[in-house]
């Protein structure tokens, strides 16, 4: 594994993205895109190990981004960031994003260690898929 994996965050809510950026920067190099077109440009220019995307962002939703990213980068793990704080709604959101093909859902209430654990698992999955594809 590389020293630090590359992670792309997609979202335009500065306060929310600052929180997740600060968390992920503890163990990854983090870039940010405000919307899907900007994210696609960044993904075309550099290799990323995982993507974290906010529930909604300028010109798009997590579902639209997940569908497009899955079609173009099928081995890239996408982690969706929850929009809610209520446990019942978060459970429903988790079911929805997993069914849609996301790697996982980060909850607004997740502690840094839980978020970093999800990121670490996503990166390991990405590396395993890449290795498997070359064998």
For residue 96, tell me if it sits in a domain.
yes
Cα gap 135→4, rounded to integer Å: 24
Handedness of CA 63, 36, 49, 23 (dihedral sign): negative
22 by Cβ neighbours in 10 Å (0-12 / 13-18 / 19+) ranks as exposed
Where residue 37 sits, what CATH number does that domain have?
A: 3.40.50.2300
For residue 121, tell me if it sits in a domain.
yes
The number of distinct structural domains making up the chain is 1
104 by Cβ neighbours in 10 Å (0-12 / 13-18 / 19+) ranks as buried
Strand order in the sheet with 78-81: 29-33, 6-10, 50-54, 78-81, 104-106
pLDDT tens digits in sequence order for the chain, 135 residues long: 458 999 999 998 888 889 899 999 999 999 999 999 999 999 999 999 999 999 888 778 899 999 999 999 999 999 998 877 777 888 889 999 999 999 999 886 666 778 888 888 898 887 766 655 665
**How confident is the model at residue 6, as a pLDDT?**
95
**Structural domain boundaries enclosing 40:** 6-134
**How confident is the model at residue 116, as a pLDDT?**
86
For residue 1, tell me if it sits in a domain.
no
For residue 77, tell me if it sits in a domain.
yes
């Amino acid at each position: 594994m590389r020293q630090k994996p590359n992670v792309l965050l997609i979202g335009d809510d500065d306060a929310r993205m600052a929180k997740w950026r600060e968390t992920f920067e503890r163990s990854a190099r983090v870039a940010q895109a405000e919307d899907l077109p900007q994210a696609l440009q960044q993904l075309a220019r550099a290799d990323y190990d995982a993507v974290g995307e906010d529930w909604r962002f300028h010109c798009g939703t997590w579902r639209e981004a997940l569908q497009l990213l899955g079609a173009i980068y099928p081995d890239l793990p996408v982690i969706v960031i929850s929009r809610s704080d209520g446990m019942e709604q978060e459970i429903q959101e988790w079911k929805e994003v997993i069914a849609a093909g996301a790697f996982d859902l980060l909850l607004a209430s997740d502690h840094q260690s839980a978020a970093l654990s999800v990121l670490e698992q996503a990166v390991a999955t990405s590396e395993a898929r890449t290795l498997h594809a070359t064998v």
